[in-house]
């Protein structure tokens, strides 16, 4: 007859007691680890332009992210083409371009559907786009407030660009005059892509 050992039972009871004593709002270990892996800059939920479904920007954790505020009726609107080309060229290496239409500079008056149709039919935009967003001033979205604080500059016009490092620790801004294909902009993207 095998001797009974209370050790496994005690261990199970202690583990169960510890689990039951976690606060009700405590995240499960896997969720907590995922939240820690997502940089603070990406811890935002935004609405996708095409269908206004909520999207977590944490899905882009570990990528080099280009955030750009866009507008359909701006002298810089043709930059959509260069942004799409960049996204397509470097996507396999871990780049993603995220577009945020904004009417802060009075050049994006259409509905989200109008903007989505325009971007796709005129410039073939396939990179992720989100619903109209305030990007400057007191009404700026939390994401753009963080980008302004991290880079030292808010968007001063449409097609302001921010490159966020893979770990979210560094943000470099480029003004509207910087074309997506400019050597300086591409060099910064390649520098960030080369980092682990």
Per-residue pLDDT tens over the stretch 142-184: 999 999 999 999 999 999 999 999 999 999 999 999 999 999 9
Angle (CA) 141 146 148, round 5°:
95
DSSP 73-95: SSTTTTHHHHHHHHHHHHGGGTE
Which of 35-39, 134-138, 141-145, 187-191 has the weakest average pLDDT?
35-39
State yes or no: is 119 an active-site residue: no
Phi and psi, residue 45, nearest 5°: -105, 130
**Tokens at 70, concatenated:** 């866009």
1-56 tens-digit pLDDT: 455 455 544 444 444 444 444 444 454 444 444 445 899 999 999 999 999 999 99
Among candidates 153, 172, 176, 185, which has minimal Cα distance to 71? Answer: 176
Please report the domains of the chain, with CATH numbers, ordered by start residue. Answer: 39-194 (3.40.30.10)
Instruction: Kindly report the pTM of this predicted structure.
Output: 0.82
**Tokens at 99, concatenated:** 């577009």
- 95 has a pLDDT exceeding 50: yes
What does the alpha-carbon distance between residue 27 and residue 47 come to, in Å, rounded to a whole number? 24
Task: Give strand pairing partners of 64.
Answer: 95
The three-class DSSP label of residue 42 is: helix
């Amino acid at each position: 007859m095998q001797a009974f050992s209370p050790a496994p039972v005690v261990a199970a009871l202690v583990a169960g007691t510890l689990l039951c004593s976690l606060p009700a709002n405590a995240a499960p270990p896997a969720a907590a680890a995922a939240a820690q892996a997502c940089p603070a800059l990406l811890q935002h939920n935004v609405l996708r332009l095409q269908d206004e479904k909520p999207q977590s920007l944490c899905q882009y954790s570990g990528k080099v992210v280009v955030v750009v505020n866009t507008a359909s009726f701006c002298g810089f609107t043709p930059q959509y083409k260069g942004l799409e080309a960049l996204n397509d060229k470097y996507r396999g290496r871990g780049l993603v371009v995220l577009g945020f239409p904004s009417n802060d500079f009075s050049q994006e008056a259409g509905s989200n559907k109008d903007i989505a149709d325009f971007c796709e039919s005129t410039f073939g935009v396939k990179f992720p786009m989100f619903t109209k967003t305030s990007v400057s001033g007191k009404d700026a979205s939390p994401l753009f407030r963080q980008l302004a604080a991290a880079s030292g500059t808010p968007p001063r016009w449409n097609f302001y660009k921010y490159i966020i490092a893979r770990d979210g620790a560094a943000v470099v801004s480029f003004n509207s005059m910087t074309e997506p294909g400019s050597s300086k902009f591409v060099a910064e993207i390649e520098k960030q892509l080369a980092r682990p």
